[in-house]
Structures are given as structure tokens and as C-alpha cells.
């Protein structure tokens, strides 16, 4: 399967932040794509919900030092 998720990221202040967060999200098993946008402070994630859970993706972002929550 393939699901899309939008996250609101907190604490990104420079252009080096997005690639660090993308790397962390992409390392979660079942994540197919991740793009982080500095300007909008959001991340879009494509993932297989049978392999990756939202909580794991949130944990990955927090583990590299950023606040994150699900966006509506
Ligand atoms: Mo730039 Mo982002 O020094 O945490 S990488 S602010």
C-alpha cells in the first residue's frame, strides 16, 4: 500500500535541516519517499502503512532533534 502523510516540523532554522530530517524519515522501514520543506515547515511522506506506522515516523524526526506533529 501507499499512504501520504503531511507533518508539521518545528525548529528548522537553516537550509541544512531538511536533508537531515529527510534522511531520518527515509531510514524508517516502509517509507517510500520523504520531502521536507523549510519554507512551510512541513514534511510530506509516502509510506506503506503495513510496514511503517505514523508513530515510528514521528519518533524518527524527534530522534534527530526536531518537534513534529501530524498536520491536518
Ligand atoms: Mo542549521 Mo538546522 O545549523 O537544525 S542544520 S539550524
Q: What is the pTM of this model?
A: 0.95
Pocket probe for ligand 1: among 10, 12, 24, the residue whose CB has the most ligand atoms within 8 Å is 12
Range of the domain at 33: 3-70
Provide the domain count of the chain: 1
State the DSSP H helix or E strand holding residue 51, giving kind and residue range, or none if neither: none
Provide the pLDDT confidence category of residue 1 given band limits of 50, 70 and 90: confident
Would you say the CB of residue 2 lies under 6 angstroms from ligand 1?
A: no
Which residues lie below 8 Å from residue 48, measured CB to CB, with a gap of 6+? 1, 2, 3, 30, 32
Which residues lie below 8 Å from residue 60, measured CB to CB, with a gap of 6+? 24, 25, 27, 28
Predicted confidence (pLDDT) per residue in 23-53, tens digit = 999 999 999 999 999 999 999 999 999 999 9
The CATH number of residue 39's host domain is 3.30.70.100
Amino acid at each position: 500500500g501507499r499512504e501520504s502523510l503531511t507533518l508539521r516540523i518545528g525548529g528548522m532554522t537553516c537550509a541544512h535541516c531538511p536533508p537531515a530530517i529527510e534522511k531520518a524519515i527515509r531510514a524508517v522501514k516502509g517509507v517510500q519517499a520523504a520531502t521536507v520543506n523549510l519554507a512551510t515547515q512541513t514534511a510530506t511522506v509516502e509510506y506503506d502503512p503495513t510496514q511503517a506506522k505514523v508513530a515510528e515516523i514521528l519518533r524518527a524526526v524527534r530522534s534527530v532533534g526536531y518537534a513534529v506533529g501530524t498536520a491536518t
